[in-house]
Amino acid sequence: MANPQVETVSTGADKVKLTAAAVLVVLALAAFYLLSKQGPVAQWGGLLAGLAIAIVVFFTSEPGKALIAFGRDTLKEVKKVVWPARKEAIQMTAYVFVFVLVMAVFLWLTDKTLEWLFYDLILGWRK
């Protein structure tokens, strides 16, 4: 069994950047509440500015760069996907609906049969 690869923050600079990003998020939230007397524009401006700076700091760290690379790789893979044609998608959707309908009728009939068997024949509660 292969061991899962664990990625850790290795450099001191990355640790500082990630800590700074976390502190900036907390400061942005604090600014939102502390600026409540200044009005909603100041509140939301402080929050969004703090979060924007935190995001920039995060994306300059190694984990942030790895996240960007992962996003790029993901987009490349999504572009390789062969999506079904409209007709095929409609047919598959119809198959699913028909199957669900058939299963619902089957389960309802099973339920009613067991209900009749137990309550009417065996226990005689409905007579």
CB atoms within 10 A of CB 47: 19
**Residue 127 pLDDT level (bands cut at 50, 70, 90):** low
Is 52 in contact with 34 (CB distance < 8 Å)?
A: no
Q: What is the pLDDT of residues 64-75, one digit of tens each?
A: 999 999 999 999
Based on the fold, state whether residues 15 and 69 are members of the same structural domain.
Answer: yes
Host domain of residue 13: 7-81
User: What is the enclosing helix (H) or strand (E) of 91?
Assistant: helix 86-115
2 assigned to some structural domain: no
- The whole-number pLDDT of residue 65 equals 94
**Residue 126 pLDDT level (bands cut at 50, 70, 90):** low
**Residue 122 pLDDT level (bands cut at 50, 70, 90):** confident
CA quadruple 58, 26, 7, 16: dihedral sign? positive
Decide: residue 35, CB within 10 A, 0-12 exposed, 13-18 middle, 19+ buried.
Answer: middle
Q: What is the pLDDT of residues 20-66, one digit of tens each?
A: 999 999 999 999 999 999 999 999 999 999 999 999 999 999 999 99
Based on the fold, state whether residues 62 and 105 are members of the same structural domain.
Answer: no
CB atoms within 10 A of CB 59: 14
Rounded distance between C-alpha atoms, residue 100 and residue 95, angstroms? 9
Q: 46 Cβ partners below 8 Å, 6+ apart?
A: 28, 31, 32, 34, 35
CB atoms within 10 A of CB 71: 10
Based on the fold, state whether residues 108 and 65 are members of the same structural domain.
Answer: no
Amino acid at 53: I
Number of domains in the chain: 2
**Residue 89 pLDDT level (bands cut at 50, 70, 90):** very high
- The whole-number pLDDT of residue 75 equals 96
Extract the tokens encoding 52.
């924007």
pLDDT of residue 77 exceeding 90:
yes
